[in-house]
Structure 1
Amino acid sequence: MIWCIFAILAGFFVSLSDALNKKYLSSFDYPYMVIARTLGSFPFLFPIFIFLTYKYNGLNYFSFPFITDVSLLLLLEILATILYMKGIKLSPLSLTIPFLSFTPVFIILTGYLILGEKISVEGTLGIILVVVGSYFINFPSIKEGGLAPIKAIKKEKGSFLLLQVAFIYSITSVLGKKGIILSNPIWFASFYFSILGLTSTLVI
């Protein structure tokens, strides 16, 4: 059950980073928000990457399939992060973040197409519960109405951007799992997020 605790903590800290990013950096252009989100972890993760590369002989992981996977992953991740930061900059969090709950729904398709994974009936029901739960966690105020995020797609550009992000994340999540399968979970985490921070900074 330790995975459940990690998942909850990950969700909490991602939400916290979104709130802090919007509060303190939304007055700047979106590139600053992107860099803050991706490069901030580099000083902590890069030393871990160096250590784990030595420990696990990580250079052996750099096969052609792995490099191809990571290259596509970086391209999509940077695009998603740009759209993400633009979205929360343009529109309220209550009308944008709920759309990320659609990611698991999209993964049903992308997981099958990329990894050949099929979701069981129980798994599908679980995904539906996650989507509904995520929506209500970010539930708008009574004044705005429960369907406010859905209605906002027509008038809030940020809402539509986050829906696109949700779809891209459904691809990057599966590609990320493929990268882990081709390497080592801990090593991949330190490697990928280190290179993501550097690449994002150079591209932006």
Structure 2
Amino acid sequence: MTQIHDHPGARIDLQPPDEGRAQVEEILSHFGAALGSPPTALRLLGVSPPILGHYAGMVGYYMEHPRLRPPLTTLIRYLAASHSECDYCVDLNEAMLLDMGYSLDVVRAARADVAAAPLGGDERALLEAALQASRDPQWLTSERIAALRAHGWSDRDVFDAVWLAAMNHAFGQVVDAFGVTPDGYTQARTDRADIDEGGARHAGA
């Protein structure tokens, strides 16, 4: 059973209602196994179990997306979060990119300049379009959609990428509104890497 604790900065009680607790604990357990601990932002959503269930379903859809690879979708969320200045979302998605094998330098270079994102040209074109469209809806003209089709993307792919960027902006606003601060996922991974590197040096001495 996943233990659901209060978060020091949260402005509301993060305990789920009794009638939805089992569903919330199951979802949090799944995410906790992948990340090391259940994300506080999802505990916030668990205040309304149907909302958490809807969000978990959307995450599952993108994880199994037939065309958009996890590095692309995670970079969409990461860079959208950076633009909207959601520290929580930046930390979470940065850690997920580290778990995929990217270095912190590479990940943060993409944050400074989207052209440095570790993707091929077709994926980078969709990444840039999703970010631009989520910031300025009028940017996504018919001509720009046609250009994305020329990169091999279907209309569904374009829609899904823009939807993901836009939903991440909204998610970040909710997280910030209720005072949820970063869980420290990135720091935990860099600390672990430092320990592993130090152990390797010691073993080779």
TM-score range, shorter chain: 0.3 to 0.5
Q: Given the two structures, how large is their TM-score scaled by the length of structure 2?
A: 0.34
Higher helix share: 1
Higher RCO (Cα < 8 Å, 6 or more apart): 1
Q: Given the two structures, how large is their TM-score scaled by the length of structure 1?
A: 0.34
